[in-house]
Structure 1
Amino acid sequence: MPTSPSCCLALLTGACLALVAGCGNSSDAKSYGRASQTPAASSKVTVVASTNVYGDIVEQIGGGKVAVTPIISDPDQDPHSYEANTQNQLALSKAKLVIENGGGYDDFIKRMLKSSNSSAAVINAINVSGKTAPKGGELNEHVWYDFPTAAKIADRIATALGKADPADAVTFTRNAETFKAKLKPLEAKEAQIKKAHEGEAIAITEPVPLYMTEADGLVNKTPEEFSKSVEEGSDVSPKVLQATLALFTGKQVKALVYNAQTSGPQTEKVEQAAKTAGIPIVPVTETLPTGKDYVGWMTSNVNALAGALNK
């Protein structure tokens, strides 16, 4: 008995549905397999760094295996007074590793960690450095200007990344060794400066570069009240300002190492006094300049200071 057109259509439809269902199951299985593999293959360790200085060091050690969010990279942002926003908080909540400077420099990180449920590992650069406040004085928290500390931080970062991504732990360790090797010429240059200029006097506007200048064997002659007031954003007394200006009018210092990221009427007077007296000025910053990595930035700083001292 011949099959009716309606029966043929029903059989064909059923066959097609069965075929589509079969293909769909096969496709879903392959797609699920790809989906489950892709994140594992392309996943990166999420890192939040308080500034782009530490962010750059992480990137050099983590390479393509890390996704780094530096909170402060704009030179107009002052870490001491920075107020975190919801975008920062979101980045922190997703981080597996957080790097802060500590020592009161970037307290916004501590505040965010307290208000979040983050389970991220935290590296505190001050703690890693082992540095403490001198007797009767205050801790200089700008430890990224100390190259032995930078090397310690690199090792700590490699260890933390290795725990977050064990499969690439060897790579992180190797990259940290490469980074530390790049610091050796900087330390050698500091030793050369110290040999040639140990005991010579300099002035500063803030304590930012002191670890570098001390490694160079230089003596900071700036009244502590001046640099402390500038760092805290408070007014300098007329007496202290005059004592600071006298360093230049009397040519008592070989160079002025000037924090170019923060300025005001008092620091501008100091800068002008140095120019008038023909004292070389070495500008430094707290965050990475555009287009520089940590080693390139610090190389420029050390070379600029050496050049100023040799004038």
Structure 2
Amino acid sequence: MRRWLPPLAVLSVLLAGCGTTEQSDDAGAVEPAGGRGEPVQVVASTDVYGSIASFVGGDLVQVTSFISDSGADPLEYESTPADAVAVRQAQVVIYNGSGYDQFMPQLIEGAGGIASIVNVSELSDLSSAAEAAGEESNEHFWYDLETVQDLAVTLAAELGEAVPDEVETFEANAAEFNAQLDGLRDQLAQISAENGGTRIAVTEPLANNLLQDAGLENLAPAEFQQAIEEGTDPSAAVLQQMLTLFDDDPVAALVLNTQTQSAVTDQVRQAAEAAGVPVVQMSETLTAPEYVAWMSGQIDALTAALDA
């Protein structure tokens, strides 16, 4: 059976602003059920990975997530002295890698002696395939559900190293989590079966891995996506290419990253709405209490847009 901490104990906000630090208990370590000793200290660069660790670890872990503000761009996050302390005290550290959470390697190097470091980019088949092809992989690995399932299994093993008597608990929690993700993957397969090849546009490549699994064709110019992702404005010609996707034969949906919005993306959104094209909002951090509910809501929103 899953073991849960009360929601406020798992994710209470310590710091507000561009990014926040979350801890399971403001007063310190939380005593796991049954008096089994101190929980495993887990640090995650974002609340997405923190949520997955909380599911797999249950009340045997205390999770600190550095970035959780769904209204800010995670690439602008600057680490704090409190973050450095949290990393030094951690037994398990999870970060995205591939240059996304650039502050984490420095914190890890400064801490030294961390028992377990999980770099999600090193788990992803997408990353290794891109490397073999001499290309850059899409760094938003949490939108590739297979990679997330691999992460859950890895976390179960790493937490089992920290608490050997609870290996079966961690493995059971990871199996339950992955069973829920199997359901989401089935939803994507259904979208592909019913809407495979449907044309869409995205403001930046946040969810492209998921959209590919859904069998959708992204027509947004690569130059436009790259500019928005890097926080710059595309050229007038590239912007015009993007806007033409909402002309006479418009795409079926616009997928908008809510955390990298600008005057340019506002212009694109207005063009989509004027053409009657549904806008699907997706984010880089959680907008729901935990990962599965968050991802499920986004997939449901995509399904509704395509049905419209």
User: Is the TM value for this pair above 0.5?
Assistant: yes
2:148 pairs with one of 132, 147, 150: 150
Q: What's the % identity of the aligned pairs? A: 41
In structure 2, the residue matched to 1:274 is 272
In structure 1, the residue matched to 2:10 is none
* Amino acid of the structure 2 residue aligned with 1:222: A
Query: Does the 8 Å contact 1:144/1:150 carry over to 2?
Result: yes
Query: Does the 8 Å contact 1:80/1:104 carry over to 2?
Result: no
1:78-93 to structure 2, matched below 5 A, reads 78-93=73-88
In the TM superposition, what whole-angstrom CA distance separates every residue of 1:102-125 from its partner, at most 9, and x where no partner exists? Answer: 111001111111222242311111
1:96 pairs with one of 91, 97, 105: 91
2:162 pairs with one of 161, 164, 188: 164
- What is the CA-CA distance between 1:281 and the residue it aligns to? 0.4
- What is the CA-CA distance between 1:136 and the residue it aligns to? 6.5
Query: Does the 8 Å contact 2:203/2:257 carry over to 1?
Result: yes
For residue 76 of structure 2, give the secondary structure of its aligned residue in structure 1: coil
1:187 pairs with one of 181, 185, 196: 185
2:307 pairs with one of 279, 300, 310: 310
In structure 2, the residue matched to 1:110 is 105
- 1:253 to 2:254 alignment: no
- 1:243 to 2:238 alignment: no
Larger helix percent? 1
Determine the C-alpha separation between the residues in 2 that align with 1:162 and 1:272: 50
For residue 131 of structure 1, give the secondary structure of its aligned residue in structure 2: helix
* Amino acid of the structure 1 residue aligned with 2:230: E
- What is the CA-CA distance between 1:91 and the residue it aligns to? 0.3
* Amino acid of the structure 1 residue aligned with 2:123: V
For residue 106 of structure 1, give the secondary structure of its aligned residue in structure 2: coil
CA RMSD of aligned residues (A): 1.7
For residue 73 of structure 2, give the secondary structure of its aligned residue in structure 1: coil
Query: Does the 8 Å contact 1:251/1:279 carry over to 2?
Result: no
Determine the C-alpha separation between the residues in 1 that align with 2:52 and 2:216: 27
Aligned length: 273
- 1:294 to 2:291 alignment: yes
Determine the C-alpha separation between the residues in 2 that align with 1:301 and 1:242: 28
Normalising by structure 2, report the TM-score: 0.85
Determine the C-alpha separation between the residues in 1 that align with 2:126 and 2:247: 35
For residue 162 of structure 1, give the secondary structure of its aligned residue in structure 2: helix
Gaps of 5+ in 2: 1-34
Determine the C-alpha separation between the residues in 1 that align with 2:72 and 2:158: 28
Gaps of 5+ in 1: 1-39
* Amino acid of the structure 1 residue aligned with 2:66: I
For residue 41 of structure 1, give the secondary structure of its aligned residue in structure 2: coil
Query: Does the 8 Å contact 1:142/1:208 carry over to 2?
Result: yes
- What is the CA-CA distance between 1:280 and the residue it aligns to? 0.5
In the TM superposition, what whole-angstrom CA distance separates every residue of 1:207-228 from its partner, at most 9, and x where no partner exists? Answer: 1111111001001100000010
Determine the C-alpha separation between the residues in 2 that align with 1:136 and 1:178: 36
